[in-house]
Structure 1
Amino acid sequence: MASYEVTISSDGQITLPAELRREWSLKEGDALEFYRGSDGQICLRPRNLPASALFGLLAHLTPDPTYPTDDDAIGAELAARDDATRSKRRKPRAA
């Protein structure tokens, strides 16, 4: 994994290394997002993809023929999870 070191200017700005700008196809005015990962690391990702780039991303997924509607599939999943948690709960003691 490549590592880059940058310096923060007195205005709080950094210069992104040219290699990353080329790799991510960044140009002036593009947005970047900093976020904290679940492991506590600070991550950076480009936000320069148009929404249209996401169309078709999940086209390979097909509906489950077992359920006529999404609502039916969601209901079945919730019922299964509820049953699973009930079986883990203590059963009442016999008197």
Structure 2
Amino acid sequence: MSSRSINEKLVALTRQMADAAEAMDFEKATALRNEIARIKGEAPLQEGDPDTVTVGQPPPGAMGLGTQVPVRQPPKGWVKPKKPDFMTKNVKPRAGR
């Protein structure tokens, strides 16, 4: 299926789900919601499960306060500057040797 036909199908299913919810047919609306989630690649909610958000485990070594803060990324196109060579910087050449 092309992305255009998938998008059209999702729009149609969303419209049908809204119509079913307005008609108080919640079982049909739930089935349509699960079909939309399946097409999008998301896991639908199981029956009896509360609407909860699952939290993944932090990466190894990330413990304590402030570890949920995302790492800042440098701007696009930014290049890390070259490290100076302390062995040759500010060395006067020996004259006459």
Report the TM-score range of the alignment, normalised by the length of the smaller protein: under 0.3
Q: Which structure's relative contact order is higher, taking Cα pairs within 8 Å and 6+ residues apart?
A: 2
User: Which structure's CA Rg is the greater one?
Assistant: 2
TM-score normalised to structure 2 length: 0.27
Larger helix percent: 2
Larger strand percent: 1
